[in-house]
């Protein structure tokens, strides 16, 4: 499934539409960068690494279709494409890192044809590197999982979120592959139910036993001693280790500390943003309140109900036991150790 989640087809990109899961495995073929930008905004592809990969293919596809008289005109049009893709989802660092990389490659190119070719190659490279990073970080992270552990995870952080092996879910899958007898508690992840719809869909394809819980049940299971560790992914990690991840992560981290449970972040270094001193500077995406007042298209509130919908929250670094990356596992002081590996 990994390669099929996002597939470059030469003049279009094929994606598995995650909004239709788990009911349907429906694929879309996107033929222009605007369609790719919409697919990211609408969360047909979501998860920080996967957004970065699709963004890079979006630039390659957009570039391929530019008809320009000069290199300068081409680069100006490319900047517009980059701007459109950068305006889709603000929090995941991987998207902006991919856009910067693609822009640098374009500026280094000699002529239009050569730039187009190097942008395609660069997008394929970004895809390969992101996938490989999740494979490696999963191997490091699996060392933290002991036989018999019950692991609580939030949102979806597997192949669907990474177009690779997975971050938090990758660690869990790797621990199972090492023969450890483990169980998973997966939170449903309101409002868009990435846990209920996507993590369960991925876990069903493995032989890892799992139980779905609502987000508000997490404290109950922690207080009863039924959680051995928590592993989640990240959308952006500031220089001091403060981490933005799916809304609800902060509450889990505070509850974990209260109950003496290790709380791990698993993320490739492409998610780290050393330009931001702390989590206060991380832009938090505010999504349409209808995602809260409706569940899968069905209204659950009286008409006119006001709702808030921040898509992410920030967990201060002192709640984080360790950050698992493809370059190793790091602990406090994050400010020095992140600088050392990024
Ligand atoms: O809004 P989403 O579904 O894109 O949010 C995804 C998450 O918060 C993940 O935990 C994060 O991107 C890391 S996934 C490898």
| Dist CA 153 CA 176 (whole Å) | 15
Mean pLDDT calculated for residue range 252-260: 98
Helix pair 112-142, 168-177: axis angle to 10 deg: 50
Same domain for 232 and 334?
A: yes
Identify the CATH number of the domain in which residue 63 sits. 1.20.120.420
CB 279 within 8 A of CB 314: yes
| Cα(156) to centroid(ligand 1), Å | 6
Q: Considering the chain, what is the average pLDDT of its residues?
A: 97
Instruction: Render pLDDT for 208-224 as a digit per residue (tens, 0 to 9).
Output: 999 999 999 999 999 99
CB 325 within 8 A of CB 337: no
Same domain for 147 and 290?
A: yes
Helices (H), 143-167: 159-162
Give the domain-ending residue among 116, 135, 154.
Answer: 135
| Cα(12) to centroid(ligand 1), Å | 25
Task: Say if residue 333's pLDDT is above 90.
Answer: yes
Among candidate residues 11, 215, 235, 273, the one labeled active-site is 235
Give the domain-ending residue among 108, 135, 162.
Answer: 135
| Cα(310) to centroid(ligand 1), Å | 13
Same domain for 261 and 131?
A: no
Provide the number of structural domains found in the chain.
Answer: 2
Same domain for 81 and 152?
A: no
Same domain for 122 and 144?
A: no
Same domain for 296 and 269?
A: yes
Task: Say if residue 3's pLDDT is above 80.
Answer: no
- Residue 305's pLDDT is 98
Same domain for 165 and 307?
A: yes
Task: Say if residue 226's pLDDT is above 80.
Answer: yes
How many Cα atoms occupy the beta-carbon half-sphere of 44 within 13 Å? 23
In ligand 1, the atom with minimum distance to the C-alpha of 312 is 8
3-state secondary structure of 5: helix
Percent of the chain with pLDDT over 70: 99
Q: Could you tell me the two tokens for 138?
A: 């999963």
Ligand 1: lining residues by beta carbon, under 6 Å: 46-49, 92, 155, 157, 161-162, 167, 194, 232-235, 245-246, 311
What are the strands, taking DSSP E only, across 250-311? 263-266, 272-273, 294-295, 298-299
Give the domain-ending residue among 120, 135, 150.
Answer: 135
Q: How confident is the model at residue 126 (pLDDT cuts 50, 70, 90)?
A: very high
Mean pLDDT calculated for residue range 171-184: 98
In ligand 1, the atom with minimum distance to the C-alpha of 271 is 13
Instruction: Render pLDDT for 313-331 as a digit per residue (tens, 0 to 9).
Output: 999 999 999 999 999 999 9
Identify the CATH number of the domain in which residue 234 sits. 3.40.50.10470
Instruction: Render pLDDT for 12-36 as a digit per residue (tens, 0 to 9).
Output: 999 999 999 999 999 999 999 999 9
Task: Say if residue 144's pLDDT is above 60.
Answer: yes
Task: List the one residue out of 91, 14, 6 whose CA is nearest residue 53.
Answer: 6
Q: How confident is the model at residue 296 (pLDDT cuts 50, 70, 90)?
A: confident
**Is 235 among the residues known to form the active site?**
yes
Q: How confident is the model at residue 297 (pLDDT cuts 50, 70, 90)?
A: confident
SS3 letters for 195-232?
HHHHHHHHHHCCCCCEEEECHHHHHHHHHCCCCCEEEE
CB 311 within 8 A of CB 287: yes
| Cα(162) to centroid(ligand 1), Å | 9
Q: How confident is the model at residue 284 (pLDDT cuts 50, 70, 90)?
A: very high
Task: List the one residue out of 83, 104, 86, 103 whose CA is nearest residue 95.
Answer: 86
- Residue 251's pLDDT is 98
Task: Say if residue 1's pLDDT is above 70.
Answer: no
Write down the residue that tokens 């206060």 correspond to: 280
| Dist CA 253 CA 230 (whole Å) | 8
């Amino acid at each position: 499934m990994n390669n099929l989640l996002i597939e470059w087809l030469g003049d279009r990109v094929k994606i598995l539409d995650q909004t239709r899961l788990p009911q349907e495995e429906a694929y879309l073929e996107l033929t222009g960068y605007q369609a790719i930008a919409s697919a990211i905004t609408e969360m047909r592809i979501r998860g920080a690494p996967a957004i970065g990969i699709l963004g890079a293919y979006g630039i390659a596809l957009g570039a391929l279709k530019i008809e320009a008289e000069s290199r300068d005109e081409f680069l100006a049009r490319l900047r517009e494409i980059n701007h459109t893709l950068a305006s889709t989802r603000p929090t995941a660092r991987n998207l902006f890192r991919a856009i910067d990389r693609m822009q640098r490659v374009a500026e280094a190119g000699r002529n239009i044809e050569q730039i187009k070719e190097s942008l395609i190659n660069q997008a394929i490279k970004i895809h390969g590197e992101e996938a490989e990073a999740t494979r490696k970080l999963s191997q490091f992270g699996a060392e933290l999982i002991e036989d018999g552990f019950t692991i609580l995870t939030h949102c979806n952080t597997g192949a669907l979120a990474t177009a690779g092996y997975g971050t938090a879910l990758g660690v869990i899958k790797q621990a199972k592959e090492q023969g450890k007898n483990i169980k998973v508690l997966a939170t449903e992840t309101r409002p868009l139910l990435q846990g209920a719809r996507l993590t369960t869909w991925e876990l069903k394809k493995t032989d890892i036993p799992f139980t779905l819980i609502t987000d508000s049940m997490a404290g109950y299971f922690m207080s009863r001693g039924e959680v051995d560790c928590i592993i989640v992914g990240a959308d952006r990690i500031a220089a001091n280790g403060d981490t933005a991840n799916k809304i609800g992560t902060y509450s889990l981290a505070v509850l974990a500390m209260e109950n003496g449970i290790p709380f791990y972040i698993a993320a490739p270094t492409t998610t780290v943003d050393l330009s931001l001193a702390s989590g206060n500077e991380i832009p938090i995406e505010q999504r349409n309140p209808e995602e809260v007042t409706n569940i899968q298209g069905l209204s659950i509130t009286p008409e006119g109900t006001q709702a808030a919908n921040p898509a992410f929250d920030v967990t201060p670094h002192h709640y984080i036991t360790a950050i698992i990356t493809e370059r190793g596992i790091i602990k406090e002081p994050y400010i020095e150790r992140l600088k050392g590996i990024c």
